[in-house]
A and B are shown apart, each in its own frame.
Chain A
Amino acid sequence: MVNGKRTLIIIPALNESGSIADVVGEVRGELPGVDVLVVDDGSTDRTAAVAAAAGALVAKLPYNLGVGGAMRLGYRYARDHDYDVAIQIDADGQHDPRYVPKLVDLLDDNDLVIGARFAGEGDYNVRGPRRWAMVMLSAVLSRVARTKLTDTTSGFRAANRRVIEMFAGWYPAEYLGDTVETLVHTARRGYRIRQVPVAMRKRMAGTPSHSPAKAMVYLGRAFAVLTLALIRR
């Protein structure tokens, strides 16, 4: 329970056995009374076993479906088990569970709340094509959602019952679709989206990619996914 609402934390994880125990432990420590569901997206390491040992419910996919595939399973679980709120948190430990009550509070007046990095907090800076992609995505998506969105690819989100119901039936499995396309889809259907500034931490394990070629490809894909999301209904 968070603020009297039955809350499920969904953590999609792919080969995160290095950090998943700490993440699950921290969530359960900070938020007593919430259920934690780790969706193991076909990991080849001991992610599922480690998560279960840390006290999470674990759903193990037989093979990799991508973040979107893992998240739809999570939302289906939330719908079938009658949760009021479903919250997505990354398995690498960059999201601080102490922000969860803040996100849940805002769900009273909104349907989908996004935890967004804000400038100055933490040492997260992006440059080059990756930055252009972020700027383009925030500009277009803010307009579509009629609210200010600065961190559209954030994997820290809280959804209420209406959005859980929608995501349980429809959630794109494609790369970037899980963040960008869901936002367009949600906004178009008249749901209210809000962002909350949160500080992000460094990943506990693993390294982010920084190659310029990859950043360029990212920009291209972001543009393609956005265009497609906008022409789709």
Chain B
Amino acid sequence: MKLTLVTGLTGLLLLGTIVELLRRRQLREKYGMLWLAVLIIVIPLSLFPRLLDNVAELLGVASGVSLVLFLGIVFLLLVCVHLSWEVSALEEETRTLAEDFALLRAEIDADRAARDELVSTDG
């Protein structure tokens, strides 16, 4: 009973945190959806940790809890891969931005030099 209380409260706390982050627009929609989906699975499990016992037996895993641990690690690995992918995309975007910025600066400098030359030949 005590264990159920601990895991259940943890699940609800997580849910509260994520909903509040979404409400304050600190999380973008795509990440928010992901975490809400995770919580919809995690909360029943935190209240009834033995829910997956039948599925575990079917898969040849000794207990439902081990199955949850296994799936949890797989999921976290996938999240890590996804974040690496997002970071790669972001790096590519900042690189493009830096290039655009440098090109603009080069154009402005060239403009300014041309104008200065015009002024000095006039004067």
Contacts and interface: CB of A to CB of B under 8 A. Distances in A.
A62 B32 CA distance: 27
Given A174-B30, A177-B29, A224-B33, A233 B23 contact: yes
A228 interface: yes
Main secondary structure of the interface of B (DSSP, over half): helix
Using C-beta atoms within 8 Å of the partner chain, give the interface range for chain B: 10 to 19
B115 interface: no
B116 interface: no
Interface string B1-33: 000000000000000000100111100111011
Interface string A166-178: 0000001010010
Given A228-B22, A232-B23, A62 B96 contact: yes
A47 B32 CA distance: 34
Interface in A187-233: 224-225, 228, 231-233
A231 B97 contact: no
A91 B23 CA distance: 33
A62 B19 CA distance: 33
Contacts of B22: 228, 231-232
Interface string B58-91: 0000000000000000000000000000000000
Contacts of A228: 22, 29, 32-33
A174 B33 CA distance: 12
A214 B100 CA distance: 36
B29 A62 contact: no
Contacts of B29: 172, 174, 177, 224-225, 228
Interface string A121-147: 000000000000000000000000000
Contact of B93 (A63, A224, A233): A63
A225 to B, nearest CB: 7
A181 to B, nearest CB: 9
Nearest to A172: B29
Main secondary structure of the interface of A (DSSP, over half): loop
A174 B32 CA distance: 12
Nearest to B28: A174
Interface string A101-137: 0000000000000000000000000000000000000
Nearest to B100: A62
Which of A224, A228, A231 neighbours the largest number of chain B CB atoms within 10 Å of its CB?
A: A228
Nearest to B89: A63
A172 B22 CA distance: 13
A233 B21 CA distance: 11
B30 A231 contact: no
A62 B101 CA distance: 10
Given A174-B30, A224-B33, A232 B25 contact: yes
A23 to B, nearest CB: 26
| A-B pairs, 5 with minimum CB distance | A174-B29, A62-B100, A62-B96, A232-B23, A63-B96
25 contacts: A62-B93, A62-B96, A62-B97, A62-B100, A63-B93, A63-B96, A172-B29, A174-B28, A174-B29, A174-B30, A177-B29, A224-B29, A225-B29, A228-B22, A228-B29, A228-B32, A228-B33, A231-B19, A231-B22, A231-B23, A232-B22, A232-B23, A232-B25, A233-B23, A233-B24
